[in-house]
Amino acid sequence: MSGPVRIVYVSVVFFGTFIFSWLVLRLFLPLGGIEWLGNLLALLIAAFVARNAWSGSADGLPASGYAGMGAVVLGVSGFVLGFFGPMIFAPEANQGPMLGIFITGPGGALLGAVLGWAYGVKQRQSTRSER
């Protein structure tokens, strides 16, 4: 995997893990006056996961990495097109933006995850056959 792609991949893993773990810790761990402890725990969890993603991506992205990137790319694209498209092409439709929220966004994320995973599996098989 090239250096810039690997850096972007690990950055997305780090920030996604940090936000997710921070939200879970806030939700399930009442910290009272020591909120900094939740931030520190979320940072440590994210650093650990990012370190493992960095070392695991040395020989290429795993299939789950391609699935995650595909889900993000197609999910965001589907959401934007489904949310803003009806506003542009049918401004009189009062429920137009819900298309992006409930159908094209999640559908794009699901399709992107499946296609990304299939591409990742194909990449792994082609690199193994070259060895």
Res. 131: pLDDT tops 70: no
Average pLDDT, the chain: 85
Round to whole Å and give the CA distance between 58 and 80. 33
Q: Dump pLDDT digits (tens) for 16-64.
A: 889 888 888 888 888 777 888 889 999 999 899 888 888 877 667 778 8
Domain coordinates in residue numbering, the chain:
1-58, 61-131
What number of helices (H) and strands (E) belong to the chain?
Answer: 5, 0
Helix-helix angle 35-56:3-28, to 10 degrees: 150
Structure-token pair, residue 63: 């299939």
